[in-house]
Structure 1
Amino acid sequence: MRIAILSDIHANFPALEQTLKSIEQQNIDAVYCLGDLVGYNVCPNAVINEIRKRHIPTLAGNHDVKAVQIHNEGSNDSESYAYQIVGKEQIKYLSSLPAHIKLEFQTADKLIRILMVHGSPYSNKEYLLEDKIEKDFTDIFLDCNADILICGHSHKPYHRVLENPTKKGNYFHAINAGSVGKPKDGNPKCCYAVITISQSSKFCKKEGIGVEFVRVDYDIEKAAQAIEESILPNDLAQMLRKAY
């Protein structure tokens, strides 16, 4: 099973287009999205429509929730522009998205439990950073009964392997899928994760699953200039170019 994980597209349709083309060129069995389809750029409706057209299971990111709140409560200030331009049908879709996706995969000797979240299992605004204290990280896995925890939100990809403190010699896998539309790791290319699990996957080995981060070229200037031609802050365009 090869699973592609998208996250944090942030209304960057040129980035999403090229990412999906990249996925189509690989032997992928399933695609999931961890949320934040909107915010920071000018194509939220095109992004949402493409995700819906492809029937990609998607989580509610904090920016998706913010867009729904702004539409429900009303806001006309320029800071809310990126959310005001989300259409009514698209808002309806965002309001229906779940907070978690749980999967189970049976290997030859173990039932693997996978938990997908936007930020953390407890909040779509909480960051699970790569340098999180190990005990605090493993406590989350134990609390959620997960073997693999996949998140986004920070826009910084990583794969961290942690030893299960209750079962020495067995390991948890924490994976951040990075960002399709607004990377913050110094590399402006789109990023998505591919996770490979097979019948022979063994969690008594640190390399029990395969995790690959795929970087994809896209027309960054097109996306950046769209921001500069809108009423959004020009700083957002520089963030795309420099990936911070």
Structure 2
Amino acid sequence: MLIVRLLLVSDIHANLAAFEAVLADADRRGFDAVYCLGDALGYGPRPREVMRLLQTREASCVLGNHDAWALEFLRGEAPVRRDGVVGQALNWQLSCLTPNELEFLAQWPDGRDERVDGTDVRFRHGSPMSYLEYVDSLASAREAFGRWEGRVCCVGHTHVPGVYTTLQGPPGDWLRYQSLTAGGRFSVPPNARVILNPGSVGQPRDGDARASYGLLDVTRGIFEVVRVSYDIARTQVEVRAARLPDVLAARLEVGR
């Protein structure tokens, strides 16, 4: 099967209700392959079910910072405070995951470079060069374009959907940002280089509580961000039932 239309999901953060809503909506629209841009774990109440869905959908996954921190905790390291919000959630999630799911997680690389219908595409969580870095401003995008020579990179990490674009040549000559917080399509200009962010499935931070995901048609050069409503109250109940910090439930309804 020729793979040309990619479903891009990022920052699911163990929010099963949001992920199920995204998959149902994307199934109706159609796609050829699933790429998870990291942070399947962290914050949320349903880590096992999210990991199982990624396996069932044969998703190509890369590590996010929360996923990497979970693996570090398993090795006895302390990347973040265990009594902080992040550490509490990750330690609880690790107690839920089976050996099979942990083995699946351990296989994720920190980035992927793949050729999709004649186009080289990089998949990474944070920036083209690191899963920890943010591309969240024109200055950070200029730095990223300067350190990376590729044409198309798909990232997450900011929890905000949008596109940074630069023409070939010195990146300072022409650099633009297009917000896609309300959803919408972006046509990749000929000879341009782009960093595409589909936003967050499970914990949006752009003031819109709806789940966010992306569809990338590599052949046509079209990137689309889609916003999907989901049962936020269900996830809030699950967060509180797991006795995770209440802030992780409260923030979902305000998209922050």
TM range (shorter): 0.7 to 0.9
Q: Is the 8 A contact 1:159 1:176 kept in 2?
A: yes
* Structure 1 unmatched runs, 5+: 202-208
Report matched runs for 1:64-213 at 5 Å: 64-73=67-76, 79=88, 80-106=91-117, 111-133=118-140, 135-142=142-149, 146-165=150-169, 170-198=191-219, 209-213=221-225
- Tell me the distance in 2 between the aligned counterparts of 1:64 and 1:134: 24
Counterpart residue number, 1:219 = 231
What amino acid sits opposite 1:103 in the alignment?
Answer: E
Q: Is the 8 A contact 1:141 1:172 kept in 2?
A: no
More deviation, 147-156/128-137: 128-137
SS at match of 2:238: helix
Counterpart residue number, 2:30 = 27
What amino acid sits opposite 1:102 in the alignment?
Answer: D
Post-superposition offset of 1:170: 2.7
Q: Is the 8 A contact 1:71 1:84 kept in 2?
A: no
Post-superposition offset of 1:74: 8.0
Find out whether 1:228 has 2:240 as its counterpart.
yes
Q: What is the number of equivalent residue pairs in this alignment?
A: 228
Deviations 1:36-72 (A, max 9, x none): 1111011101100111011111111111111122223
What amino acid sits opposite 2:102 in the alignment?
Answer: I
- Tell me the distance in 2 between the aligned counterparts of 1:211 and 1:72: 38
- Tell me the distance in 1 between the aligned counterparts of 2:59 and 2:129: 23
SS at match of 1:41: coil
Counterpart residue number, 2:18 = 15
What amino acid sits opposite 1:188 in the alignment?
Answer: A
- Tell me the distance in 2 between the aligned counterparts of 1:135 and 1:222: 40
Summarize the Cα distance change of 1:185–1:104 in structure 2 as closer, same or farther, 3 Å threshold. Answer: same
* Structure 2 unmatched runs, 5+: 174-189
Q: CA RMSD in A?
A: 2.2
What amino acid sits opposite 2:224 in the alignment?
Answer: E
Post-superposition offset of 1:112: 2.6
Q: Is the 8 A contact 1:148 1:175 kept in 2?
A: yes
SS at match of 1:173: strand
Counterpart residue number, 1:206 = none
Summarize the Cα distance change of 1:105–1:82 in structure 2 as closer, same or farther, 3 Å threshold. Answer: closer
| Same amino acid, percent of matched pairs | 28
Q: Is the 8 A contact 2:128 2:144 kept in 1?
A: no
- Tell me the distance in 1 between the aligned counterparts of 2:20 and 2:141: 37
Deviations 1:180-201 (A, max 9, x none): 1111111111111111222xx5
Summarize the Cα distance change of 1:38–1:105 in structure 2 as closer, same or farther, 3 Å threshold. Answer: closer
Summarize the Cα distance change of 1:237–1:65 in structure 2 as closer, same or farther, 3 Å threshold. Answer: same
Post-superposition offset of 1:133: 4.7
Q: TM-score, normalised by structure 2?
A: 0.81
